[in-house]
Structure 1
Amino acid sequence: MRASYKAYEDVATNCSGYEKSSGKSSFTDRVSDENSVSCLNCKHFDEDEHCVLDLYDKVAESRGISPHDTEM
């Protein structure tokens, strides 16, 4: 995992491109609540843990979230 659960939640909550995935992904089991907002359940987050819209770093930086926070 490239970032903490909290970082993924904070970024997704503040991301204009967030769209909840309609299906089950390889990350779905990592999200504690199926209704939570997280990069891990965003349809733009790929299997390599990258935002295909290239928004993660931009959102993290603008919100003061360490983009590569690995604290779990």
Structure 2
Amino acid sequence: MNRLAQAALVWCLLVLMGCAIEPWVKPYERQNLADPIMSFERDEVSAAYISHVYDAREAARGAEGGGGGGCGCN
């Protein structure tokens, strides 16, 4: 095997080893990520109003994404 093939094999093995690492955020630590301080919007009420106006004006209800826990429920 030439050096390029060996280097590619080592690189692929290192990349695949990254899949074996446990998640950095444990389930009991996820409450910290759901803290309101982590939201992108400064004012939640204002953001909801702007979203409502955008939905009504553009006829694009839900176009900016939706809430939910990853299960498809809102």
Q: Max radius of gyration: which structure?
A: 2
Which TM-score applies when normalising by structure 1? 0.24
The structure, 1 or 2, with the larger RCO (C-alpha pairs under 8 Å, 6+ apart) is 1
Which TM-score applies when normalising by structure 2? 0.24
